[in-house]
Structure 1
Amino acid sequence: MNESLHTLTTMPTVRQSGCPFDPPKELIEAREHGPISRFPFPDGHQGWLVTGYDLLRSVLADSRFSSRRELMGHHPLIDYGDIEVPPAPPGEFLLMDEPQHSRYRKPLVGKFTVRRMRLLTERVEQITADHLDAMEQAGPPTDLVTAFAKPIPAIVICELLGVPNEDRGFFQENVDKLLGGETNDEDLMAAYTAIQNYLAELVPAKRANPTDDVLSDLLDSDLTDEELKGISLLLLAAGLDTTANMLALGTFALLRNPAQLAALRADPALTDKAVEELLRYLSVAKQFQRVALEDVELGGHTIEAGATVILSYHTANRDPERFPDPHVLDLRRQDGGHLAFGHGIHQCLGQQLARVEMRVAFAALINRFPTLRLAVPAEEVALRPETADIYGVKSLPVTWDA
């Protein structure tokens, strides 16, 4: 039996007032009509929107849906006309299908195992402690984004890849421009070019003088310098911005849910579950796209070959058919299995690293500052726009009893 077909006519660009952690109400309403909707793109292309957990997960596991960038010619907010999208640059495997995808991902898999990432815990603890020491010494108030949330993952990913510590500020600034949703096209290209040029010098420098890092480890593979540059760019952007926004937005969510924060502070054993629940609840990587390579039956409807499908991760992670009381932050939630890291062959390579960073950072922050609280009214916290690739806060003013 076919589901009734809902149409979402425009992609929402704002969230409900007072609900900074919930998906836009139009997406929630679309999910209430069913797990899949029609979506007419601004350029006239008739695409689809998947908001249900089970359907979204099935698309991610189905090789009949492509991730290739050159097929992603339709933007949910902008009519780009007949502009031809080029294939992803060498190494940027997130926007590739098999077998190209595995050529780049396979050499990296062993570098990001659960065991290897757990071995990094001590270093993450030291980096976190250093920043908490600096916060304590400077005294309240502070912007948690610049003092804590951004520098910790920046240092970790830069050390992992072998980027000198003095250059991490350069990457923070330019990744912000790339993913923050508020940069004009000219500055976007300038930021992308600046990072590309830097990496174009870093890779041959590693060949001349390899060190103990992931990039140097990859030099023994058959990957070219151009491919290594693309891989490095992808890992830097993904490893820096997503975790930074989870740390800041996650702290904001905990401060807005004092009973949950108190439960976490009282029971450190909750930390693992708390991280998973925050990942589900916030879903900072809000949506991705796929393109049907052939006609595919999905949710009682035929997805036509060539149709673009928008995958709404943050709505799927609030699907009431999968998660009871999905709009409630519940750190003791038993029903895991969120899609914040994706699913299938493109599931986030660095998810175990992100988990280590969040477990360490959240626990250390709330224990060091038991009176931590917002320094401004919640409605004055500056949020990233809904157009940003990664959702989060631009700044998070906090204070505590010194």
Structure 2
Amino acid sequence: MTATPTAPVVPLLPAPHSGGCPFGPPPAYTEAAATAPMTRAELPDGDPCWLATGYAEVRTVLSDRRFSADVRHPAFPLLVAGARERLVTDNPTFLRLDDPEHARQRRMVTGDFLVKRVEALRPEIQRIVDEALDRMTAGRTTADLVADFALPVPSLVICSLLGVPYEDRDRFQGLSRTLLSRESTVEQLREAQEEVLDYLRDLTARKRARPEDDVLSRLAVRDDLSPDDVASTGVLLLIAGHETTANMISLSTALLLEQPEQIARLADPAALPGAVEELLRLLTIVHTGLPRVALEDVELGGVTVRAGEGVIAMLSTANRDEEVFGGADHRPPDELDLARDARRHMAFGFGVHQCLGQPLARAELQIALETLFRRLPGLRLTGEREFRTESFIYGMRSLPVTW
């Protein structure tokens, strides 16, 4: 056991992305990981916290019941300055709750995202992907892959599943960008949060009056859920359901265009799933990590995390851990190797809170990337890429391409 250090290794969280590889985590996190698996950092409000960067340490933080995901805990680490009083509500999403309440709410929507259910959706996802490419390529040879393909595909899929009108996409996509931006003020975050909740409350009322075959309808007619409960769950599924996959599609495409010799693996049905796992590992889009708070003292990575101390579990550095993803037969873990066995990655988190929609995300990525490079074998970059460095979900703002 070692004493708690007083000087932070990372001066302030979230760390800026400038100066590093655009496909990797911010340099400060990589430097912290090279120092020790557990280091100290400072939150925007000035409070100290722990930064867990090692693979084993991140797994423990995300799976050990001694670490809480309940955002209502007074010591829960927040990555937005001044947000505790304005954004921590009495009705958080189940992602920000502990069991048993987390498990109770999660079970209500688990069935819609099971592997068997997602496999049945593959023909519909393929149709959505093909039609998006038809629109993108109709009468032209250039496009912004983000706006014309990467964003519409998962937005259409999640809207269909949830029962959200796709014609409202400009509204909920804009609100999502505000809620995920580190540059948004607390007031902007509060207003966006209230607007998207009001939108889902109104939609829930309509679903309750006239239910259809969709997730929101099934939630709306339940007697054990209030409109606020349904709206809160709907916000989580809607935002996570399109933002994460959209950014993974665009980031994956941008990286593969830099390494075209690896694209052939996408055409092999046997190799495609593994190739997508490697992209998920390397491009882990939650660069700011997952916050937890210790409920009791825990010995971890050579230090003692005291009860009441916050911990940020850095998925992006854990997924590049040399001991787990290295080896003489493959490229270093900070490089793309579509032949690597990356199945142990934590791009979707770990433990009971790991991403509910991961089967859907995998299916969308497999279909979107395989179809994109099969139909447009001459795809190439035509201008400067723009990355979304200000977002809690890392990704791309634009990706100009031609074919």
Out of 384, 389, 394, the position equivalent to 2:388 is: 384
Give, in whole Å, the separation in 2 of the partners of 1:70 and 1:121.
Answer: 38
Where structure 2 has 5 or more consecutive residues not aligned to the other structure, the ranges are: 327-331
The question of whether the paired residues in 1 share the 8 Å contact of 2:70 and 2:76 is answered with no
Out of 8, 20, 34, the position equivalent to 2:22 is: 20
Q: Deviations over 1:321-362 (max 9, x none)?
A: 111111110111024210000111101001101111111101
CA spacing shift, 1:301–1:364, aligned 2, 3 Å: same
Give, in whole Å, the separation in 2 of the partners of 1:76 and 1:233.
Answer: 19
How many matched pairs? 393
Deviation, structure 1 residue 264? 2.9
Give, in whole Å, the separation in 2 of the partners of 1:143 and 1:119.
Answer: 30
The question of whether the paired residues in 1 share the 8 Å contact of 2:70 and 2:96 is answered with yes
Give, in whole Å, the separation in 1 of the partners of 2:79 and 2:103.
Answer: 31
CA spacing shift, 1:42–1:114, aligned 2, 3 Å: closer
Map 1:179-194; keep pairs closer than 5 Å: 179-194=180-195
The question of whether the paired residues in 1 share the 8 Å contact of 2:10 and 2:32 is answered with yes
Map 1:181-330; keep pairs closer than 5 Å: 181-218=182-219, 219-220=221-222, 222-265=224-267, 267-286=268-287, 287-324=289-326, 325-330=332-337
With normalisation by structure 2, the TM-score equals: 0.91
Give, in whole Å, the separation in 1 of the partners of 2:25 and 2:339.
Answer: 22
CA spacing shift, 1:142–1:101, aligned 2, 3 Å: same
Give the aligned partner of residue 374 of structure 1: 381
Give the aligned partner of residue 329 of structure 2: none
CA spacing shift, 1:194–1:79, aligned 2, 3 Å: closer
Give, in whole Å, the separation in 2 of the partners of 1:289 and 1:391.
Answer: 16
Where structure 1 has 5 or more consecutive residues not aligned to the other structure, the ranges are: none
The question of whether the paired residues in 2 share the 8 Å contact of 1:3 and 1:299 is answered with no
CA spacing shift, 1:88–1:117, aligned 2, 3 Å: farther
Give the aligned partner of residue 364 of structure 1: 371
Deviation, structure 1 residue 88? 4.3
Q: Given the alignment of the two structures, is residue 55 of structure 1 paired with residue 42 of structure 2, yes or no?
A: no
What is the percent sequence identity of the aligned residues? 44
CA spacing shift, 1:135–1:253, aligned 2, 3 Å: same
Give the aligned partner of residue 124 of structure 1: 125
**What value does the CA root-mean-square deviation take over the aligned residues?**
2.2
Give, in whole Å, the separation in 2 of the partners of 1:40 and 1:91.
Answer: 24
Q: Deviations over 1:292-343 (max 9, x none)?
A: 1111111121101110101111111111111111111011102421000011
CA spacing shift, 1:399–1:86, aligned 2, 3 Å: closer
Deviation, structure 1 residue 262? 3.6
With normalisation by structure 1, the TM-score equals: 0.92
CA spacing shift, 1:85–1:296, aligned 2, 3 Å: farther
Give, in whole Å, the separation in 1 of the partners of 2:369 and 2:176.
Answer: 23
CA spacing shift, 1:131–1:391, aligned 2, 3 Å: same
The question of whether the paired residues in 1 share the 8 Å contact of 2:144 and 2:400 is answered with yes
The question of whether the paired residues in 1 share the 8 Å contact of 2:299 and 2:305 is answered with yes
Structure 1 letter corresponding to 2:100: P
Displaced runs of 4+ in structure 1, greater than 4 A? 1-6, 72-79, 85-89
